[in-house]
Amino acid sequence: MNLNEGRLTMVRRLMGALLCALMLSAGAGVAARADTSLPAVTGPVTGGNGVPIVFSGQPADRLVGRETFDLASVGYTQSEFFLAGTANAYAPAPGSTLTNDGRWTVEVTSQAPYKTRVVVNRPLDKRDFNGTVVVEWLNVSGGADASPDWMQTHVELIRRGYAWVGVSAQAVGLNGLKGPPPQGDPVRYESLTHPGDSYSYDMFSQAGQAIRGDAGLLLGGLRPDRVLAVGESQSAGRLVTYIDAVHPLARVYDGFLVHSRGAGGAPLAQPPLVPAPVTGAAPTFIRDDLDVPVLVFNTETDVGSLQARQADSARYRLWEVAGTAHFDQYGLLTGGTDTGGRSSVAEWFDTMLHPTSEPGVGFTCASPINTGPQTFVLRSAIAHLDRWVARGTPPPRGPRLETISIAPIQYALDANGNVRGGIRTPAVDAPVATLSGLGQAGSQFCFLFGTTVPLTTEQLEALYGSHGGFVGAWGKATVRALLAGFLRPEDAFNIAVVGAQSDILR
């Protein structure tokens, strides 16, 4: 058997193993648990200045979206609705404090009217709907609504038939909508009003309640079995506070994906409602008496989260993913055109060899930004959370990133400069680049984007010897990640094939 025949046999075996994994399927749902008044829902909203309602991961983009593909081309449609009602604000109950353990007891302190918007991406064909709605707390760190979790997970959501709802829960995002073109549309959004972020938690609850209670309008007749809450970065901090304080009262969401959290949560109440923010003790842990699952997903950049590490339990999982940054080249650039084909995986692979220092948001970072595997592992995370809720099957336990010191942060690195421990993928176990969530400099948000340093030909030769050696290592690492539950079958298949077809050491 010559080298090419042996390589072909190895790839065929790997493909067979991956195809077997494609037999995995989703399960049935759970019953809704919320029983409170619904907000008034109007829409679909049209008119205004005609600014398109599309979403990207750009942190400074008005509507988060830079999809350059038509949702209809993948069997989806997008619509926008307004939600109006009266929202509650909360404070610690008399005699209680917001302690580290997250077992908070709060009470309603005031109410205020609001009117906000939600954006819905859903399957065009009702038969494609898998019964799960993913509700994203839109991120406002860039001064406007952004949907980083839609951008990072949309391939999995679309191919499995999820519906996705983005909620403008915070005042900054809503006010940005009312700003001048091209970022805003003051005509379309003139009637929107936000009483302040102290009320954002109940506004988020009411969005979930509307999804259950007004699905005929919001979801075009789709009937949800499960409603999951997700949020990244600042939105993850809001979800930490929501889980510990509000969920025990509202019981709207069936599960939570908390993506890239810090050590604490967001303020429970803040100005202008109160003179100073009311915050919990840091680090703030996820309460251990929950009735629904929580999966916390952290990258190497999220060093504050290391102080809030918790042991896995029946309702809690922590995933720390090696080689990832808070946000990356996929989320900022390439994800906007990804419709789930193998070519997009090939494009991702190529970014590890040819990373950019220009994240496409009007500024340049000091070094090429992270091109790690976050999107692939996050797709698996949402699938596991859905199955956890539907079937009661918890996600696999993820090993922790290895640290030498937490304050200041110092990770334990291997000979190639990649972090040890954590959830492993071929990107770090059969590397073609050094991938880090740290070490970036430059203006604006660059410190969140991590770094990529492609390995030299000499380094690759020392690691693998030949193209066949690389293909073998890459394929084995892919199968390990798949069998461990950290890659989706379709992604693992494409990743393996792309590695085999690459020009590494040819």
Taking only the tens place, the pLDDT of each residue in 287-323 is: 999 999 999 999 999 999 999 999 999 999 999 999 9
Tell me what the mean pLDDT of segment 471-482 comes to: 98
Is a pLDDT exceeding 70 seen at residue 20? no
Q: Which of 95, 98, 89 is nearest to 279 (CA)?
A: 98
Distance CA 185, CA 175 (A): 10
- Per-residue confidence (pLDDT) for residue 142, from 0 to 100: 87
Phi, psi at residue 99, to the nearest 5°? -80, 170
What pLDDT, on a 0 to 100 scale, did the predictor assign at position 50?
A: 57
The answer to whether 55 touches 166, Cβ cutoff 8 Å, is: yes
As a whole number of Å, the CA-based R_g of the chain is 22
- In angstroms, the CA 424 to CA 422 distance is 6
Residue 1, pLDDT > 80, answer no
Q: Name the one residue in this structure whose structure tokens are 């009117």.
A: 115
Burial of 182: CB neighbours in 10 Å, binned 0-12, 13-18, 19+: exposed
Q: Are 56 and 67 in contact (CB under 8 A)?
A: yes
Which of helix, strand or coil describes residue 264?
Answer: coil
- Look at residue 182 and tell me whether its pLDDT is greater than 90: no
3-state helix, strand, coil in the chain (%, to 5): 35, 20, 45
For strands 76-92 and 410-411, give the pairing. unpaired
Query: Count of CB atoms within 10 A of residue 64's CB?
Result: 28
**Mean pLDDT within 360-380:** 93
Spatial CA neighbour of 218 closest among 87, 55, 41: 41
Q: Which of 485, 258, 309 is nearest to 394 (CA)?
A: 485
Helix ranges (DSSP H) in 366-466: 374-391, 426-429, 457-464
* C-alpha–C-alpha distance, residues 385 and 267, integer Å: 26
Burial class (CB in 10 A: 0-12, 13-18, 19+), 405: exposed
Higher pLDDT, 70 or 165: 165
Residue 16 has pLDDT above 70, yes or no: no
- Of 402, 410, 354, 349, the residue nearest 375 (C-alpha): 349
Helix (H, G, I), strand (E, B), or coil: what is residue 356?
A: coil
- Average pLDDT of the residues in 382-410: 96
Percent of the chain with pLDDT over 90: 83
Cα separation, 163 vs 226, in Å, equals 10
Output DSSP code: residue 278: B
Bridge partners of 118?
81, 167
pLDDT at site 25: 33
| Half-sphere exposure for 114 (CA within 13 Å, toward CB) | 30
Q: How confident is the model at residue 62 (pLDDT cuts 50, 70, 90)?
A: very low
Computed over every residue of the chain, the mean pLDDT equals 90
Under the banding of pLDDT at 50, 70 and 90, the label for residue 52 is very low
pLDDT confidence tier of residue 68, bands split at 50, 70 and 90? low
Q: Cβ neighbours of residue 254 under 8 Å, at least 6 residues apart?
A: 30, 33, 226, 227, 228, 292, 389
Res. 443 pLDDT band, cuts 50 70 90: confident
Question: With bands split at pLDDT 50, 70 and 90, how would you rate the model's confidence at 15?
Answer: very low
Between helix 148-160 and helix 374-391 the angle, nearest 10°, is: 60
CA-to-CA distance for 146 and 150, rounded, in angstroms? 9
State mean pLDDT over 239-267.
98
Nearest alpha carbon to residue 155 among 393, 369, 359, 382? 382
Q: Which tokens in the block code for residue 476?
A: 């084995």
Overall average pLDDT of the 183-195 stretch: 92
Which band of pLDDT confidence, cut at 50, 70 and 90, is reported for residue 396? very high
190 by DSSP, 3-state: which?
A: coil
Q: What is the largest CA-CA distance in the chain?
A: 77
Q: What secondary structure does DSSP assign to 197-215, as a single string?
A: GGGHHHHHHHHHHHHHHTH
DSSP E strands, 299-390: 316-320
pLDDT tens-digit series, residues 94-123: 999 999 999 999 999 999 999 999 999 999
**Residues above pLDDT 70, as percent of the chain:** 89
pLDDT at 503 over 80: yes
Is the peptide bond prior to 272 cis by the omega test (within 30 degrees of 0)?
yes
Sign of CA dihedral 248, 250, 255, 257: negative
Q: What is the pLDDT of residues 336-369, one digit of tens each?
A: 999 999 999 999 999 999 999 998 877 899 999 9
Q: Please, are residues 165 and 220 in contact by the beta-carbon 8 Å criterion?
A: no
